[in-house]
Amino acid sequence: MKQLLSLFLVLSLTACAAGPRTARDRTVTATEEHVTAQSGEAGITDPVREAEHDPASKAPLGAASLLPEEPVIPEDTPTAEAPSAPEEPSAPEDPAAPERVLDPSRPMVALTFDDGPHAEYTDQILDILEENRTVATFFEVATNLHKDPDAVRRAVDMGCEIGSHSYRHADLGKMSQEAIQADLAAADELFTQVLGQAPTLLRPPYGSINQALKTSSGRALVTWSIDTEDWLNRNTEKIVSSVQNFGNLDGQVILLHSIYDTTVEATRILVPWLLEQGYQLVTVSELLTLRFRQEVQTNHLYGYSLFRWQVPPLAETPVTPEAPEVLSAEPVSKAPIKVKLVLRETVPDESVRTELLGKDLLSLQARRL
């Protein structure tokens, strides 16, 4: 009997202890479900639960301690280097640019072309000059620049010289100083649009010059000494014969026009012929600087009497074959032609100095326009 009473007492105590714990657990569970329901209705999410179900999360909240620690790499353990990008092959250097050699002890001639540019003929003349690795001076009419501005820029790149032939080919010699300045200013504006700067040389149309133009143009005035009259005869044979039958061409400035097909054909004959005769084809500024040994000055006329009657004698001392002195200079613009000046020894009492010629070669490049 006593044993039964003790067993009943133990079972009663056990039931009392289990009852409150179960109720408390149920209360907590209900509270959690109530909070969760409210959070869902308000649009609030549990960051822990979201992180656990977010496959993109690398380190969910509350899970940092579960990430494996980064391995410790010993200092002496070699590490794999990232492969370096292959080096791009360097571009091959441009072949040597063609050279045009200028020798002050040899005769020089300046070909000049007026009234352009022409939409077709200017480029054809440039082709002839380029084939023979030589140059000329083009006195362009500003209002014609639109016909082929690329040809004018090409001429500069080749080492040719660009001069102004006025704004609209007006007779400047019959104009007042104010009208002259207005014409030249309008021309300069168009030249600047095409070339970035205005020419420093001016050939007045018709060779017409008055005192106002000569003293206040702010430019070097250049005419000619041989008129081929290509504008008049329009005949290739006559143009060629006017040059070939002239006689000594050293120091001469030949007048041509780049707007006639007959002049193009005459140029095709004359350029190689002049080179075969031993003449160096140069720009006007090169002729004045290297052959006449003069600095090109503004408000100064370089005309017929100078080119025809005042050509200095050539140096007679031959160049030393072992080690001739050579001075080279790169053109100011990015021209493909390099100019080399071969300096010979001067004869006794010769006034030309080597330093002066070298300085002149450098300065005349800036006068190409």
What single letter denotes the amino acid at residue 322?
E
Give the C-alpha distances (Å, rounded to integers) separating 347 from 151, 309, 315, 341, 358: 42, 22, 6, 18, 18
d(CA 200, CA 212): 17
From the list 103, 165, 257, 360, the catalytic residue is 257
| Terminal CA-CA length for the chain | 138
From the list 103, 114, 115, 188, the catalytic residue is 114
Is 114 labeled as catalytic in the residue annotation? Answer: yes
Is 257 labeled as catalytic in the residue annotation? Answer: yes
Question: In the structure encoding, which two tokens stand for residue 219, read together?
Answer: 């430019």
Give phi and psi for 37, each to the nearest 5. -65, -40
Largest CA distance in the chain: 163
| Residues acting as catalytic residues | 114, 257
